[in-house]
Amino acid sequence: MAFAVVFAVGLTLGCLTGRWWIVLAPAAFGVWVFATTGVDEVPHWFLGLAYGGAGVVGVLVGLLIRRRLARDHA
């Protein structure tokens, strides 16, 4: 569930901004999760990588959707 939310937020950011550097936002979120997580069942690096990766993929998909829509309307 949490990965879907992170992906959806990334998708929204990508669609709204349309800039490649917005990928830094979910990457920074992944670093924050790595640094602050209190979960002991899985390694901290794995959670940071998973959440950051889901957000980055969401942003990239959002960017692709935005560019495709812009090209179709032009």
pLDDT digits (tens, 9 = 90+) for 12-37: 999 999 888 999 999 999 999 999 99
- pLDDT for the residue 70: 87
- Domain assignment present for 11: yes
Domain that holds residue 32: 2-66
- Domain assignment present for 73: no
**Confidence (pTM):** 0.89
- Domain assignment present for 72: no
HSE-CB at 35 with a 13 A cutoff on CA atoms is: 6
Count of structural domains within the chain = 1
Q: Which residue bears the tokens 């901004």?
A: 17
Task: For residue 59, give both structure tokens.
Answer: 């942003």
Residue 74 has pLDDT above 70, yes or no: no
Give the pLDDT confidence of 36-63 residue by residue, as tens digits. 998 889 999 999 999 999 999 999 999 9
HSE-CB at 73 with a 13 A cutoff on CA atoms is: 6
